[in-house]
Structure 1
């Protein structure tokens, strides 16, 4: 925290919206530049804006909600494990979650998903305490409220409520009375949580004379939820995609599945309602997301705390076996050696993996040195941990996870920040601009508007480059001597000659050019030129042929 800037994907977009909330005082509906941002609800951006109000530093504030949500999820996992099995099992469940790759990676990103996982885990905590510990309408109501908040945070926060089904089936099989009243508590709590944001937006859309508000409500409540699930238009993946996610991002725990699966089956056959409820809910979540054509690896993350809870009572016995211990030792050894091989590659090869990464991302030498230092620290420290803890696989995994995320946070992520966040690019733009110049952007990325040192005009984000150019042309011609444009290479029309355009570097897989307003001539209308080029299929990359 404080050592890196918001970097794609998603982080700059959310911080840009949160910053607009703080600067303008308009908190209900997020904005991306001049446009309403209708892809995600506002609660996560509220959290970032509130964090900034508390600490007064965006470099810290943008990561603070994910940090607190991650710590809260660890606490809830520990507490639920403690209540269902005992204190020691609760500690094992929390440590297992901490040691899983996807959890650590997501907790260190400023994306919505970590906050969503906190709300879904809180909802599951309340529901399972009511169902499996003892009837408690207060915690049930809190869990329902969290499910409602999760739903208006990212659509799928209602999923913990499905845990009723496997619990009910387990109760029927065991012939135990399934008397757990509280349906009205669930309904009222859920509606109250969802209404925190949904009700004000619907009221504003209903009463506002602005048609963009009605379009925003239709987009966020219909297209970005139901339609996106049933008929996704991007991230299309096969039905088995999440098996690949489990096998990779749920390491190192995924290595123990050959021992966990039969042990779970034995517990289920004995009628353990705790395991049946947790594992049944995980299967429902897996089926729910697998049924949609659109899939992303983070979608499955809310199920991870439940998997760790179900695994925790079994891990001590499994880790006494030589096979699982060797696999975990090999996992740590592999990651440590890969880090050292990348360090060696970066030091001795001029065209190796690290050198190509540095060229593609325009990483400067000082940042490259920091990146190599991080790889070296991870690799050497990992081997030292193996030497000291090779007989204690569980302790080794937890210690290595702490080492991995420490090296990532202190060295690796800061090394990639300047180039990935566009801070380096925008510093170059500022150095090229006259002191009294005004800046506009065409085909821009959120991180560029966020990192701009001076106020920048935009001409829409969702609009096509030709449509953005139409607004930019009018803006430039109003004061051609004082107005400049930052333009992506892919959006530069052929009719603009190279000499007036200045190359300012490469960022986010594109070359960027700074164009003075005086470069526009009566013979060059970029908006029309781009439309003609698109129709004819002509390329317009400045680096090729011009």
Structure 2
């Protein structure tokens, strides 16, 4: 195997600049906001309850077991808190580390398969892609599962294209298993075996040849995969068995192993879309990387005709992923995000040449110019004309001044992007694009986070609750959302989360009646119906697009029960 030449001082400098740029752009804003719906409060609440209860094996959402997803993200958030002691930092730290790890893996693959320059271009292409940065600045499962799948792809590609390297192969299979206990789909990394078999049988250039005596090493990959899954599965099954008298644990096992995996794929119950749903995602959510398609598609085709396995394996895997997720009715844009690092990888070798093309530089300037003009136009219109959308947004967010500070942010982003175009022009269009994207993310993180945090996270709402309910009195939650319990930051009684709202109300009123002088109920406006005298209740205002109230037993109308039509059991949207 050939040894790669030592990196030049310029290559090392570019590498560290890229890493610094990634830390600044992705890490900006950490510590400035709390978890925002819909998914972030759910996972952070489960992590917080893990830390407080000491039960890290079975995630909880309030009093209920939470079986929608394996606990990997919750574990990493809880571990981050144990190290740092600050939830505002801890809940976003796993996504930051997953993003940096993914960028390093893409860089290293590009370096190994082509050159350090190709690796740098591939990592940079991933870093400027909209969906990548948008998702890794959020505390959801998808950045973590993307990292594990990319790590699995790294091991498989190193083995299949630069091998044989069985340790890398087993490492890749182990990471695929970690992806399984993160979101269930980590096993999709093994789809890489399909184009590998095609390349091996077809005699493609660059594919690793395994000797006939190595056949027994392949099944060890399955052992590595199962070993990673067993890190969670075995203790979980034993723990559930230890709770044999409690049927909720048996229900947890059945739900997470069957209903939330095969059931979610074969019988999707939400997010229904057409088979072509991912076409606009690939075209627009992957901007500005997708601007290179007119240049990369013919170059990929030429390399495929030349039987270059370095293109076939990642590209074939991307196609298989798109087909796999296009089959079920349920679709979300984040499902195909693990394909984005592999797209950046096979784009990297051609970017130096493509960035010299006038058409690509024009496309980049048009892209960033269109974004800048839109930002500037929306901000200026909101400040000057006060259109309906701006007024409604300000009202929903509780902005007394019409949200002027936020609209000025739009103006600032748009102005910076247009100034970059005017200053850098055609010759340095790539820097205009990178600078324009960075300006947008930095402004969003450092400007918008503090402005939107109280209304988005329910921090302001629950601060009001804490001030109104004396510390020596009790609080019950009805028709609550995860952010309510998370941001309350004090003990509270809930009556289930997936329990129908009218049943929660009935149980809550009974609970309150046991000590009416010292028990309060926090409830969503809709569930109260005509069963609460609002003149005796306290309106907490608008938060998370909902109206909330606080009341004691004297506001409850005796004998009144809300009808089942008030029920809006929250959908499980954390995919």
Report the TM-score range of the alignment, normalised by the length of the smaller protein. over 0.9
Greater displacement, 63-72 / 401-410: 401-410
User: Does residue 1:179 correspond to 2:210, yes or no?
Assistant: yes
Q: Which residue of 2 aligns with 1:449?
A: 485
User: Does residue 1:530 correspond to 2:566, yes or no?
Assistant: no
Pick from 356, 363, 379 the counterpart of residue 327 of structure 1.
Answer: 363
The within-5 A match list for 1:405-416 is: 405-416=441-452
User: Does residue 1:97 correspond to 2:126, yes or no?
Assistant: yes
Kept after mapping to 2: 8 A contact 1:65/1:115: yes
User: Does residue 1:107 correspond to 2:140, yes or no?
Assistant: no
Q: Which residue of 2 aligns with 1:188?
A: 223
Kept after mapping to 1: 8 A contact 2:534/2:555: no
Kept after mapping to 2: 8 A contact 1:98/1:401: no
Q: How many residues align?
A: 531
1: distance between equivalents of 2:204 and 2:290? Answer: 34
Kept after mapping to 2: 8 A contact 1:148/1:191: yes
1: distance between equivalents of 2:221 and 2:405? Answer: 51
User: Does residue 1:47 correspond to 2:95, yes or no?
Assistant: no
Question: Alpha-carbon deviations, 1:458-483, whole Å to 9, x = none?
Answer: 10000100111122011110111211
Greater displacement, 311-320 / 279-288: 311-320
2: distance between equivalents of 1:78 and 1:394? Answer: 19
Pick from 120, 123, 128 the counterpart of residue 157 of structure 2.
Answer: 128
Kept after mapping to 2: 8 A contact 1:490/1:510: no
2: distance between equivalents of 1:354 and 1:167? Answer: 53
The within-5 A match list for 1:142-221 is: 142-174=171-203, 178-179=209-210, 181=214, 182-209=217-244, 210-221=246-257
Where structure 2 has 5 or more consecutive residues not aligned to the other structure, the ranges are 1-29, 569-575
SS at match of 1:512: strand
Kept after mapping to 2: 8 A contact 1:82/1:89: yes
SS at match of 2:272: coil
Distance 1:124 1:364, change over 3 A: farther
Q: Which residue of 1 aligns with 2:11?
A: none
Question: Alpha-carbon deviations, 1:20-44, whole Å to 9, x = none?
Answer: 0111100001000000001011011
Kept after mapping to 1: 8 A contact 2:526/2:566: no
Distance 1:340 1:534, change over 3 A: closer
Question: Alpha-carbon deviations, 1:320-378, whole Å to 9, x = none?
Answer: 22222111101111111222122212321333433321112324549x34423432332
Normalising by structure 2, report the TM-score. 0.89
2: distance between equivalents of 1:442 and 1:32? Answer: 14
Distance 1:156 1:453, change over 3 A: closer
**How many angstroms does 1:530 deviate by?**
2.1
Kept after mapping to 2: 8 A contact 1:98/1:398: no
Normalising by structure 1, report the TM-score. 0.94
Q: Which residue of 1 aligns with 2:9?
A: none
Pick from 312, 315, 329 the counterpart of residue 293 of structure 1.
Answer: 329
Where structure 1 has 5 or more consecutive residues not aligned to the other structure, the ranges are 538-546
Q: Which residue of 2 aligns with 1:348?
A: 384
Question: Alpha-carbon deviations, 1:201-227, whole Å to 9, x = none?
Answer: 122223422211111010001000001
Pick from 64, 67, 75 the counterpart of residue 93 of structure 2.
Answer: 64
Distance 1:94 1:137, change over 3 A: same
**How many angstroms does 1:453 deviate by?**
4.1
Pairwise CA RMSD: 1.9
